Copies of this chain bind each other. A is one copy, B any other.
Amino acid sequence: MEVYHLYSGGKDSSLAAWILQKLGYEVKLVTISFGLLDNWKYAKETADRLGFNHEVVVLGREILEEAAEMCIRDGHPSNAIQFIHEKALEEIASRKDVERISDGTRRDDRVPFLDLRRTRSLEDRFNVQYIRPLLGLGYKTIRELAEKLFIIEIRESEKLEKSDYEVELRHLLRLRGIDPLTIFPKRHYQSRVLGWKKQDL
């Protein structure tokens, strides 16, 4: 049972990958890049340290550009992040060999998040199973599990070496002369997993 799991190297997508592996899935980590920066390498490094199979999938630059325009128009990044995430899921789901896709989205997340209608639409259009191991877990449960499993580094988003969509999105905004801090929340802490504390609880 192979599953292709969208992976940033953060606490949530790492915990979701661990759960999938525990359930017996053969987990293939996938990190999205738009080819603008090489920040995918942080996810790769974490994947290697955790012992997971990992690949980088490059999405078309026009998706990032459309997302940047959404950010500028909206004055906040929610719709842009949602847009990129759906494109990423669709890209993986559309591959011929893929029967199962997954991500680390949580119960308490606002974006990226697929509601029931979009979830079923994704599964039906691409004939895949879309598995979200963290959807039934609250922040306390996720924190408890992640802190037992992983060595985690927590920093402000601007400073963290990380492989999520935000990094290239912020970079593209800067290239267009826009300060990302006018669009992204001022203090937004994010996590990066550095390795295992232990692999079994």
- In the bound assembly, the distance between CA atoms of A123 and B19 in angstroms comes to 22
CB distance from A108 to the nearest CB of B (A): 8
State whether the Cβ of A34 lies closer than 8 Å to any Cβ in chain B.
Answer: no
**Quick one: given A119-B107, A144-B129, are A201 and B23 in contact (CB under 8 Å)?**
yes
Is the pair B130, A138 in contact by a Cβ cutoff of 8 Å? Answer: yes
- In the bound assembly, the distance between CA atoms of A133 and B140 in angstroms comes to 15
Chain A residues with a Cβ closer than 8 Å to the other chain, count: 29
CB-defined contacts of A131 to chain B, threshold 8 Å: 136-138, 141
Q: How many copies does the complex hold?
A: 2
CB-defined contacts of A1 to chain B, threshold 8 Å: 144, 201
Q: Which residue of B lies closest to A198 (CB)?
A: B24
CB-defined contacts of A200 to chain B, threshold 8 Å: 24
State whether the Cβ of A173 lies closer than 8 Å to any Cβ in chain B.
Answer: no
Task: From B22, B108, B119, B140, give the contact of A138 (CB < 8 A).
Answer: B119
- In the bound assembly, the distance between CA atoms of A138 and B131 in angstroms comes to 7
CB-defined contacts of A120 to chain B, threshold 8 Å: 138
State whether the Cβ of A64 lies closer than 8 Å to any Cβ in chain B.
Answer: no
